[in-house]
Amino acid sequence: MRSSPHSKTFAHGVHPPECKDDTSALPIRQFPFAPVQVVPLLQHLGKPAIAEVAEGQEVVRGQRIARPDGFMSVAMHAPVSGVVQRIGLAPAISGRMEPAIFVRPFPGSTQEPAQGRPVDARTATPEQIIAAVQEAGIVGLGGASFPTHVKLKLPDGKRGDTLLINGAECEPYLTADHRVMLEHAADVMAGIPFLLKATGTERAIVCIESNKQDAAAVMRAAIPPGQPVSVEVLPVKYPQGAEKMLITAILGREVPSGGLPIDVGTLCVNVATCAEIGQLLPRGAGIHERVLTVGGPGIRKKGNYRVPIGTPLRFLLESVGYEPDLTRVFLGGPMMGQAVSSLDIPVTKGTTGVIGFTARETGNVAEQREHPCIRCGYCLEACPIFLNPSMLGLLARNEQHQRMADDFHLMDCFECGSCTFVCPAHIPLVQHFRISKRAVRRAKAAGK
């Protein structure tokens, strides 16, 4: 079932070591409940949900416990049957304290998930599907955490023709999407009709990197007869999972600077998101757990786990065990993942993985001395959107943030980290750019 060799991909990019072998063959396992599950009200881009349970109230697993606050918000569901211990502040990955609902599980409960009103892709209208997706609390599970129903509601006057199901999973170490495709192919195929119908797109393409040929074969075999679905295998390259790169790789279309995929008639939905839709909507249920990879050299029992939303990292790491010299934990892959400052941060809907590094891996990076830019041009060749990171780096050093944005397209940088990865002078390029982008945004907000 090998796909014919072809060179569909995007320009530039990098090849970090894949490091997926430790976990890619491990089936998804259910993760136990923590003594207290902490469900943040803001797990997505947009407005926090509004809690609709009270302290001391009993909740059933999968029951809605917070309702969306307007369109740019999604519902939250109880990850476990139990009692609401309190509603208070919990640390978030942003470094701030955010409101969250603390749920203590009932030890004796069967933990049978609650069901609601089923939605059928054949009979539901697009509006009904979009409302159901919001009600199910679904956000982009690929890490972006953008509310999926907002994406599905096309702006007035826009039309899409192609839906890309993103199974690229180009970040090293992460294998959760790979396992979802292998083990939940039927859910993915059940989710696609909802997405097609909601957006009025005509066809869906499942996009998979060539290091997951087995997943491609399973997905191909799972396509129901007559469905406008195909599978494309792409050469392995980072950051192919980025929406813009994927669209260019598959369709040869280029999303305009500052624009959205729909501007070129395309929508991208992560494969795990699609599987959740296919799984939850027919049962009228809400998202209360997700599949993620727990791995990296600092982790003992590596694997792909179905983890209840709101599981604190401390519980997660203690359950799987970690090496004594674990020095860094980050959520997501090593290229774009965010390092955590506190282990009280819970797993959220956007957590694609929990990766632990020991002093050995982090030491390698930390010991590298920064040199001046030697103008090698490697960063220009790495940047998938053709920026000039070397020049941006010089300007950032002089704090010319506005000039970076005006003349060198700083705001087009989506912080993939490829430039920093390749720089032989060890200049923290993307780290500079994050600071500069923040400065430009702040200046713009102040100028309004």
Quote the DSSP letter at residue 353: E
Among 13, 334, 346, 353, binds another protein (CB under 8 A): 334
Q: How far is the CB of 7 from ligand SF4 (least distance, A)?
A: 21
Structural element, H or E, at residue 292: strand 289-295
φ, ψ for residue 12, nearest 5 deg? 65, -155
Q: How far is the CB of 165 from ligand SF4 (least distance, A)?
A: 24
Residue 341 contact among ligand SF4, another protein, none, beta carbon within 5 to 8 Å by kind = another protein
Among the candidate windows 177-185, 277-285, 342-350, 373-381, which touches ligand SF4 by CB under 6 A?
Answer: 373-381
Q: Are 139 and 147 in contact (CB under 8 A)?
A: yes
d(CA 312, CA 310): 6
| Binding of residue 378 to ligand SF4 (CB under 6 A) | yes
Of 57 and 257, nearer to another protein (C-beta) is 257
Q: How far is the CB of 440 from another protein (least distance, A)?
A: 13
In three-state secondary structure terms, 370 is coil
d(CA 309, CA 90): 14
Q: Which amino acid is at 139?
A: V
Quote the DSSP letter at residue 394: H
| Tokens encoding 295 | 């791995």
φ, ψ for residue 183, nearest 5 deg? -100, -20
Among 256, 374, 407, 444, binds ligand SF4 (CB under 6 A): 374
Among 89, 221, 366, 376, binds ligand SF4 (CB under 6 A): 376
| Binding of residue 390 to ligand SF4 (CB under 6 A) | yes
Residue 102 contact among ligand SF4, another protein, none, beta carbon within 5 to 8 Å by kind = none
Residue 244 contact among ligand SF4, another protein, none, beta carbon within 5 to 8 Å by kind = another protein
SS3 content of the chain, % helix, strand, coil (to 5): 30, 20, 45
Among 88, 374, 397, 442, binds another protein (CB under 8 A): 374
Among 82, 160, 172, 193, binds another protein (CB under 8 A): 172
Residue 241 contact among another protein, ligand SF4, none, beta carbon within 5 to 8 Å by kind = none
Q: Are 265 and 253 in contact (CB under 8 A)?
A: yes
d(CA 416, CA 409): 15
| Binding of residue 414 to ligand SF4 (CB under 6 A) | yes
| Binding of residue 395 to another protein (CB under 8 A) | no
Among the candidate windows 33-41, 67-75, 189-197, 368-376, which touches another protein by CB under 8 A?
Answer: 368-376
Q: Are 74 and 49 in contact (CB under 8 A)?
A: yes
| Tokens encoding 396 | 């950032």
In three-state secondary structure terms, 328 is strand
Residue 389 contact among another protein, ligand SF4, none, beta carbon within 5 to 8 Å by kind = ligand SF4
Among the candidate windows 122-130, 228-236, 249-257, 265-273, which touches another protein by CB under 8 A?
Answer: 249-257
Residue 393 contact among another protein, ligand SF4, none, beta carbon within 5 to 8 Å by kind = ligand SF4
Among the candidate windows 130-138, 165-173, 346-354, 369-377, which touches ligand SF4 by CB under 6 A?
Answer: 369-377
List 308's β-bridge partners, or say none.
289
Residue 197 CA neighbour count, 13 Å, CB half:
23
d(CA 100, CA 344): 12
Interface size with ligand SF4, residues (CB under 6 A): 29
| Binding of residue 222 to ligand SF4 (CB under 6 A) | no
Neighbours of 159 (CB within 10 A): 10
Q: Give the angle subtended at the CA of 293 by the CAs of 11 and 92, to the nearest 5°.
A: 95
| Binding of residue 434 to another protein (CB under 8 A) | yes
Q: How far is the CB of 177 from ligand SF4 (least distance, A)?
A: 21
| Length of the chain in terms of residues written | 448
| Binding of residue 9 to ligand SF4 (CB under 6 A) | no
| Binding of residue 35 to another protein (CB under 8 A) | no
Of 344 and 381, nearer to ligand SF4 (C-beta) is 381
Cis peptide before 5 (omega within 30 of 0): no
Residue 71 contact among ligand SF4, another protein, none, beta carbon within 5 to 8 Å by kind = none
Q: Phi/psi zone of residue 396: left (φ > 0), alpha (ψ -120 to 50 degrees), beta?
A: alpha
Q: Show the DSSP H helices in 322-388 as ranges.
A: 359-366, 378-382
| Binding of residue 244 to another protein (CB under 8 A) | yes
Q: Which residue has the tokens 């195929």?
A: 189
φ, ψ for residue 201, nearest 5 deg? -80, 155
Name the pairing type of β-strands 162-167 and 203-209.
parallel
Question: Site residues (CB under 6 A) for ligand SF4?
Answer: 373-379, 382-383, 385, 387, 389-390, 393, 413-419, 422-425, 427, 429-430, 433
Question: Site residues (CB under 8 A) for another protein?
Answer: 14, 16-17, 172, 244, 248, 254-259, 314, 326-330, 332, 334-343, 355, 357, 361-362, 364-366, 368, 371-378, 380, 384-388, 390, 406-409, 412, 415, 417, 420-426, 430-431, 434
